Amino acid sequence: MSDRTTGIHHITAFARDPQENASFYTGILGLHLVKKTVNFDAPDTYHLYFGDASGSPGTVITFFPSSKARKGRIGGGQVGVTTFVVPVGTIAYWEQRFTELGIAFRHETRFSESYLQFTDPDGLRLELTERSEGPVRTDTYAGIPADKAIKGFGGAVLFSRDYLQTMDVLERVLGLAKVGEEDGFARFQSSAELGNRIDVPLSNMEWGSGGVGTVHHIAWRAKDNEEHARWREIVAASGYKPTEIKDRQYFKAVYFREHGGILFEIATDAPGFARDERQNELGRKLMLPEWFEPRRAEIEAVLQPITIEEPSN
């Protein structure tokens, strides 16, 4: 049988200040902080997860905020633009919101869709587009009515060092379908309702440099552990060098760098963010994996406290 990913699971990026980062993604974009934990590879740094109220796969953008990290440069070998999707007819609402909040934006059109492009406080490139796909949110948060709120990812624009290779891994390995080429972009589509359209500029881009304001990796969905283990074999058999399967508590992860330079991850949908917190308490406490619990006091002592607006429901 041939496996196909249904779309984006999460996207992980670098930020500078944890409070500024959390205030932007919750207070301005209206995403929920669904998990406050640490970078499992460097526990003196937060790992913050923002998504819909339950952190559904296809809605979650995550950050490693670090005041010590260097500034990055967006370029080849990275996700260049992260796309969020809002309900049809709501872009005017977002333009007005951004204007009132002092967020600069501009318009771009790709594949006959209009995009509202802006950056986060660290310069990470983001955009909103209207689509009817994907469940409309049921919660009102940060003053944003549910029927105007971000539903999750629309997709991403991948900046490649070798776009033919990146298109090849999307199509031949991950199983996305190429649906068109237009104005210097190729578009690939997967089956999920969110995180399902990936655009690749049809030119090789200069290397970016990783750091604050850039994406670290993009993760693709695997439905369960069995499919995930198969993915690792498929990736290895396709000429890439996957890592061992890692336990990220809320999903299993395997990473590989595709030949266009972008770090890919395959992540399982389960167990999800309600694994260690109640649904209505997600993100409130610092959650640590079992192996870091003995060091909790030491870890908490170096992390800057974060305050966010409590969800009203």
Which residues make up the interface to Zn ion (CB under 5 A)?
12, 219, 265
For 173-285, list the strands marked E by DSSP.
177-182, 185-189, 197-201, 215-222, 246-247, 251-257, 263-271
CB of 245 to Zn ion, least distance (A): 13
Q: Which is nearer to Zn ion, 87 or 242 (CB)?
A: 242
Q: Which is nearer to Zn ion, 147 or 227 (CB)?
A: 227
Q: Which is nearer to Zn ion, 147 or 269 (CB)?
A: 269
CB of 63 to Zn ion, least distance (A): 11
Q: Which helix (H) or strand (E) holds 164?
A: helix 163-168
222-247 in b/e burial notation, b at 16+ Cβ within 10 A?
beeeebbeebbebbeeeebebeebee
Nearest to 11 by CA among 300, 223, 214: 214
CB of 11 to Zn ion, least distance (A): 8
CB of 147 to Zn ion, least distance (A): 30
Q: Which is nearer to Zn ion, 49 or 159 (CB)?
A: 49
Nearest to 265 by CA among 217, 200, 212: 217
Q: Which is nearer to Zn ion, 16 or 252 (CB)?
A: 252
CB of 20 to Zn ion, least distance (A): 22
Placement of tokens 């260097």 in the chain: 70
Query: Helix, strand, or coil here: 72?
Result: coil
